[in-house]
Amino acid sequence: MENRNFLLVVQRKKVVKLTNSYKLVSFNVVVVTTYKRCHTVTTKLTNLCYLKIDELKALDCYFGQQVLF
């Protein structure tokens, strides 16, 4: 029997406390569309990078993946 589940959501989250001590320095969104078994799957990749203002060398990044329809 063939598996008919085409929705696969994989998320890896890093929780960043957004206070006045963080500044957003990079924001990237990439949308990828793939064709699998007669269905189109669109995935949105988001990458957010925050710089801690009081420690200029500390960089916190958040990567998220989301399946869109």
> What is the CB-side half-sphere exposure of residue 37 using CA atoms within 13 A?
6
For 22-63, write each residue's pLDDT tens digit: 676 777 777 788 877 777 888 877 777 766 666 655 555 555
Q: What is the pLDDT of residue 59?
A: 55
pLDDT band at 67 (very low <50, low <70, confident <90, very high): low
Report d(CA 54, CA 27) in Å as an integer.
20
CA atoms within 13 A on the CB side of 21: 9
